[in-house]
Every structure is written in structure tokens, then in C-alpha cells.
Copies of this chain bind each other. A is one copy, B any other.
Amino acid sequence: MQKASIGPKSGSQPAVRADRKGGRTVSRQVLADHVYEELLASLMDGRLEPGAAVSIDGTARELDVSPTPVREALARLEHTGMVRRVALKGYRVAPVFTREDFAELMEARLAIEPVNARLACARLTPERFAELEQAVEDLKSAPRGPSFAEYKDYLEADERFHQLIAQQTGNQFMVSAYAALGGQVQRFRLFGGVGITDAEYAIAEHQSVLDALAAGHPEQAEAAMADHVQKVRARAMADAPAD
């Protein structure tokens, strides 16, 4: 192994590296975690396209690690639905969504996200509310060019908003239920062809949710979120190529 990188002298570098951030040891990183995050980032920003093979050995070479941590990272990743595994054949990036997949995804979001909004309303703290406001601000100010790279920030803020609400429920199960969907939603935003036309309306809808939360009206927040998800679905079903 050992490509042209900082080569340990004999393949026995310390198994663990104390990653430091801001001069303080954050939490000792394990190689598999690093691989996981690297793969996740590639998945989420479109570097790894749907259907592409994710070779264990290849990834290991690329990241200059042995296959074992890559296997572990992929095993975790599989559970998110972003990669699929076929025994003895390896991993592939999950295929693009069909219209049916998308409809199912939105149906699931519709079951979960309005409830999240309602629950979040009851437990909202000022700090968390500020974070939500920030996310909406970022949505408004993010550049929205025609290429993916140009509105990556927009997508990121969108995802962040929904994630924050899930976290705000204070319910670990709702958080992970949303997390399971959120990754897919984000991937769909990238590859499913959600147009930028989405943005103008979506911002207003996010604002409505935020307003309801600010006013402390759980039912209204729930309704606003349901409305948002339904409209996202309607817009996407209209825009998306009839596959």
C-alpha cells in the first residue's frame, strides 16, 4: 500500500490519532469514522453519483487506509439507505429516485415532520430558535445559481432547518427517524431535479413555520410544516421529469 503520501515507515502508525481542534483534544478519532465522514460528504455533495460502485479496496487505496475501516464505514452507511450492498458483489451508491420512491419519501416526511414541528414548539429554547432563524436567513441569502455547486449552500441551509426542528423535539427517536429521511431528501435535492424555482416559495413556507414556532402555536406549526412538505411534493411532482 502506501501511496505517495506521508508514509509511516513500516505500516504501523498509531492506530489512533488525537485530533486537535483549537488546541484541545476533541475526541479521539477512529479511522473508520474519518472514512465514514469522507464517504458521506462525497455522497451528499454529489461527487458519488447514483449507481456508482463504491469499491472497498479502491476507497481504501484512495484514502490510504486498509480495507477494514472502509468495510466498517460502509456497513454503517448502508443503514442510511445511501449505499446498497449485495453480498459478495460489494457496495453501490443507491440508485436515483423514481417518482414512486419520491412519493413514498414525501409520504413519510408528511407523517414525521409536522409532528416534529408540533413537538419542537413546546420545547423551543431561545438559543435553538436563534439557530432556526439563522437557517432561514441563510436560505434567503444563499446564492442560487443554476449549477449544483452554486446553490449547495442553499440546500445545506434547507437541510439544516429541518434537522434543527427534529433535534428541537428533544425526542431521540424522532431525530433518528428524520435523520433516516433527511439523507435521502438531500440526495433527492441533488439528483432528483428539484428546481431552483422551488426556492422562492420554499423560503416563504419556512418562514411560516418559523413564525408559528415563534408565536408558540404548536398546531399552527404542525399545519405550516405539513403545508410546506405537501407543496414541495406538488412542485417536485410537477417539475420532475416523468421518468
A104 vs B119: C-alpha distance when bound (angstroms)? 11
Query: How many residues on the A side are at the interface (Cβ–Cβ under 8 A)?
Result: 38
Interface residues of A in 177-222 (CB under 8 A from B): 177, 180-181, 184
Q: Residues of A with Cβ closer than 8 Å to B?
A: 16, 27-30, 32-33, 68, 71-73, 75-76, 78-81, 87-88, 101, 104-105, 107-108, 111-112, 115, 119, 170-174, 176-177, 180-181, 184
CB A175 to nearest CB in B, in angstroms, measures 9
CB A188 to nearest CB in B, in angstroms, measures 12
Q: Given the interface contacts A16-B88, A28-B87, does A177 sit within 8 Å of B180 by beta carbon?
A: yes
Contacts of A171 in B (CB 8 A): 104, 107-108
Contacts of A28 in B (CB 8 A): 87-88
CB A152 to nearest CB in B, in angstroms, measures 24
Q: Is the CB of B172 within 8 A of A104?
A: yes
Contacts of A73 in B (CB 8 A): 75
Closest to A110 in B: B115
Known: A30-B87, A180-B180. 6 other contacts (CB 8 A): A71-B72, A72-B72, A104-B172, A107-B171, A112-B177, A177-B177
> What are 17 of the A-B contact pairs (CB < 8 Å)?
A28-B88, A30-B87, A32-B75, A71-B72, A72-B75, A75-B76, A76-B76, A81-B176, A101-B172, A104-B173, A107-B171, A107-B173, A108-B171, A108-B177, A111-B112, A111-B174, A177-B181
